[in-house]
Structure 1
């Protein structure tokens, strides 16, 4: 076999091997399509006008317990264990969704004259720190329930003292045992907690105004 023939044989073999390698390459993965959910502030009721304390509240984003501050939606089937929905996500991490909802409702309904989130240079009189201890759809009961548990700390920034520290929780049955049902129940729970927080602040704020 002459050199030209040998070259042709090797070229054919290499081409065959290359084509065989291409045929076993993995198919491109199809991107996962997620369903996204958010938390909606309850619509404004026809509340009677009330005087607002001439104070500014600093409301930083809530702190989330480890494992909760992710766009993944959590659920529980056994005590002490967290699982995550495969194809359902929050539109933003829960801390951001909670922060936006609380800012909207405090701005709209008081009891402070002003509410800031720390992104403006405005000085504040008090700061409300919120730590989220539980934010999960609980399947250990039937029907499933959404559980939200918070620790609140209200700090007087001028006197550098704690004015209020309290644990609050809400547990709302989901309309159905699905991520959509869980998101709806979570929104109801968070709005109910806002009402309780505002009621407690109404008890404390007049002492400082």
Structure 2
């Protein structure tokens, strides 16, 4: 069974009913001491819930499992920039390709945020858990950072054609460019273009999300290998100079 699904049209009737109720509540909300800012948020949520796509589901990725750590391996501080992405991927809708040259969106299934934000947040949590660095911050760091990690997502989509390794149609494809920069010297000390394609266990959106989780874990593990080698080598050189 093909896992491509179509979005139902949003409910104009529900939207109309909520907007009518909201218009009646506005005067009371503005004059009520009890509601205040919370009331404004509530009204916005009501409108969004009724007027947005009906039955929308939101997905995110798990933080990749970090290698076991017993404490900071270096005294360096890392800051991570928000990962860039092409215009196509500056959208929270889940993309799937129906052929090498044709793509579509799932209208009722979305990521919690656009791919660049998801992956930069994963990088922040992942590298904090590795304890390779003494501290890891989102850019700009509150204290001078020794290294800056810069990234660009160039692929983040499901594949709904052909056969995967399990003999089923459905894969997740992830592509990420990463640069580790020595901040003070503004010099790239490590760079990689990482790609991975993982088969989906199920022919549906959840299967693609699970496959994307596996792809993200594999890519971050590869990135850790290269980054840790560059950073630990620099740490050893600094210790040698100190002696």
* Shorter-normalised TM range: 0.7 to 0.9
Gaps of 5+ in 1: 1-25
- Compared CA separation, residues 85 and 27, structure 1 to 2 (3 A): closer
Structure 1 distance, partners of 2:140, 2:231, is 23
Structure 1 distance, partners of 2:12, 2:99, is 37
**What secondary structure sits across from 2:226 in the alignment?**
helix
Structure 2 distance, partners of 1:49, 1:27, is 56
Give the structure 2 partner of residue 35 of structure 1.
Answer: 57
**Moved >4 Å (runs of 4+):** none
Contact 1:65 1:134 in 2 (8 A): no
Give the strand-richer structure, 1 or 2: 1
Aligned length: 183
Structure 2 distance, partners of 1:169, 1:98, is 14
Structure 1 distance, partners of 2:184, 2:141, is 18
- Pairing 1:131–2:116 present: no
**How big is the alpha-carbon RMSD for the aligned residues of Structure 1 and Structure 2?**
2.1
- Compared CA separation, residues 83 and 27, structure 1 to 2 (3 A): closer
5 Å-filtered alignment, 1:1-209, equals 28=13, 31=50, 32-43=54-65, 47=68, 49=70, 52-142=73-163, 143=168, 144-209=170-235
**174-183 or 50-59: bigger deviation:** 50-59
Gaps of 5+ in 2: 1-10, 16-49, 236-243
What's the TM-score once normalised by structure 1's chain length?
0.80
What's the TM-score once normalised by structure 2's chain length?
0.69
Contact 2:116 2:152 in 1 (8 A): no
Partner deviation per Cα, 1:30-80 (whole Å, 9 max, x = no partner): 6411011111114556x2536512111111121112211211000001113
Contact 1:110 1:198 in 2 (8 A): no
Give the helix-richer structure, 1 or 2: 2
